[in-house]
Amino acid sequence: MADAILKSIKLDNQSQLDLMDASQKVAADRWLVRLNIRLTVPVTALSTGAPDDAGPRLEDVRAELGERVLFEQTKERNFVDDREKDAVLNNLHDAFMATAAAYLAHPLFPQKLILKKYHESIKKKGLRSRG
């Protein structure tokens, strides 16, 4: 089953935040209520962060990670009554927006995410990074 997009937000830091309903019925009147959070960051956001001459070059990052980096998170509640499904999904959404959305919208978040993913990727391959 495809996730239904609840909200899609273009953040000021060049990222795209998508909140999706990925809930599934698990019994006659019970649900696994799931909110999938996806933040897509273009690797070009690396060049808009704080300058760091010791860091990897944009070309190297692009070659390693591609054009976009993805941050994903899932919030879920299991065995939710049919009558409470929408309220629980709304609560998950509201709690996320109240706490984590501002963190993801921070101007330096894209750059830090890209660098983290880059270093994880090259470490996994056993390569050394520039910076």
Per the document, the length of the chain is: 131
Output the pLDDT for position 1: 57
Q: How many beta carbons lie within 10 A of that of residue 10, not counting itself?
A: 9
What are the distances in angstroms from CA 53 to CA 9, 46, 68?
32, 12, 22
pLDDT in tens, the chain (131 residues): 578 999 999 999 999 999 999 999 999 999 999 999 999 999 999 886 555 557 899 999 999 999 999 999 999 999 999 999 999 999 999 999 999 999 999 999 999 999 999 999 999 888 665 55
* 4's tokens: 């239904």
Output the pLDDT for position 49: 55
Output the pLDDT for position 55: 83
Burial of residue 67 (CB within 10 Å: 0-12, 13-18, 19+) is: exposed
130 alpha-carbon distance from chain centroid: 25
Question: How far is the C-alpha of 97 from the C-alpha of 95, rounded, in Å?
Answer: 6
**For the chain, how far is it from start to end, CA to CA, in angstroms?**
42
Output the pLDDT for position 52: 54
